[in-house]
Structure 1
Amino acid sequence: MKLSTFYGHSVACGFPSSADDHKEAALSLDDHLITRPASTYIVRANDDSMVNVGIHNGDLLVVDRSLTPKHGDVVVVALDGQLTCKILGRRRGGLISANDKYAHIPIWEGQELIVEGVVKASVRYHRGE
């Protein structure tokens, strides 16, 4: 990924704060988002079932296959050959949506569930051009 200029100060999202022009270093998003390139892929989110964990329709998901999935992780799974992004649930015994409009998906005996990876991060475009 191309390097971009990284400023060493943060940006207030509430009231404005004094800004400085201190450029800290060049920054590659790969260094922050992709720890293991050989096991990482990027996929686009396709609906609003995960909005309450900050994943919106059209976001890019950074998915790492090398991570061991834990209950409560956001994962990409193949359930009977169909891909979906959900929360891996323990208490409800299935795949949990992060939007009350969508029911959770129970996992029944005999179904094939393959965890394709753990979602490490998401990237959202705020202005498409």
Structure 2
Amino acid sequence: MGVYRIEELARDSEGVVLVPIMGPTLCAGFPSPADDFLEGALELPRWLAPNPPATFAWNISGDSMRGAGIFDRDLAVVDRSLKAVHDSVVVAAVDGQMSIKRFLVEERVARLAFDNPDLPAFAVEEAAEAEIWGVVRFSIRWHIARAGLVR
């Protein structure tokens, strides 16, 4: 995957796509793309979601990824078609629980880490069951108080 300027991406891709917003939040049980777990859809320009069938959005709960700039109540946009590489932020199913983690490969050992120095990393093999579900492409954060958003 190359590095592109926003102008190049916007020019190369036209239209908008609907990205399903999954529920419950990432720290709850394992959701599937079934309609029972959909909480709505987010309309994004195609250049932000180049592979719509593999793209999902999730509400974040907690601050375990604050070092990555992802905070409680942010929205993570996850692409299941991307391959996780060292230092990727990923959504992983760990022992049946969905969570957002930093994927690290250290001395040939894959680890999932919180991006919060108060919480330790653990080796993927330490979990009874672990699967990388997708790679976080970007997150969306409110910069104004949500209480001030009146429709």
TM-score (norm: length of structure 2): 0.62
Counterparts in 2 of 1:29-40, with a 5 A limit?
29-40=44-55
Counterparts in 2 of 1:1-129, with a 5 A limit?
29-91=44-106, 93-108=110-125, 111-127=128-144, 128=146, 129=149
Secondary structure (helix, strand or coil) at the match of 2:139 reads strand
Bigger proportion of residues as helix: 2
Bigger CA radius of gyration: 1
How far apart in 2 are the matches of 1:63 and 1:34? 9
Q: CA deviation at 1:79?
A: 0.8
Q: CA deviation at 1:108?
A: 2.7
What is the number of equivalent residue pairs in this alignment? Answer: 105
Moved more, 49-58 or 85-94: 85-94
Alignment gaps of 5+ in structure 1: 1-7, 9-26
How far apart in 1 are the matches of 2:139 and 2:86? 19
Alignment gaps of 5+ in structure 2: 1-6, 8-14, 17-43
Given that 2:91 and 2:136 are in contact with CA atoms closer than 8 Å, whether structure 1 keeps it comes out as: yes
Secondary structure (helix, strand or coil) at the match of 1:77 reads strand
Q: CA deviation at 1:60?
A: 0.3
How far apart in 2 are the matches of 1:110 and 1:52? 23
For 1:122, the aligned partner's letter is S
Say what the alpha-carbon RMSD is for the aligned residues. Answer: 2.2
Post-superposition, which runs of at least 4 consecutive aligned residues in structure 1 deviate over 3 A?
Answer: none
Given that 1:47 and 1:56 are in contact with CA atoms closer than 8 Å, whether structure 2 keeps it comes out as: yes
Given that 1:33 and 1:62 are in contact with CA atoms closer than 8 Å, whether structure 2 keeps it comes out as: no
Per-residue CA distance 1:6-49 (angstroms, 9 max, x = gap):
xx9xxxxxxxxxxxxxxxxxx96423421111000000111111
For 2:56, the aligned partner's letter is Y
Secondary structure (helix, strand or coil) at the match of 2:73 reads coil
Given that 2:94 and 2:127 are in contact with CA atoms closer than 8 Å, whether structure 1 keeps it comes out as: no
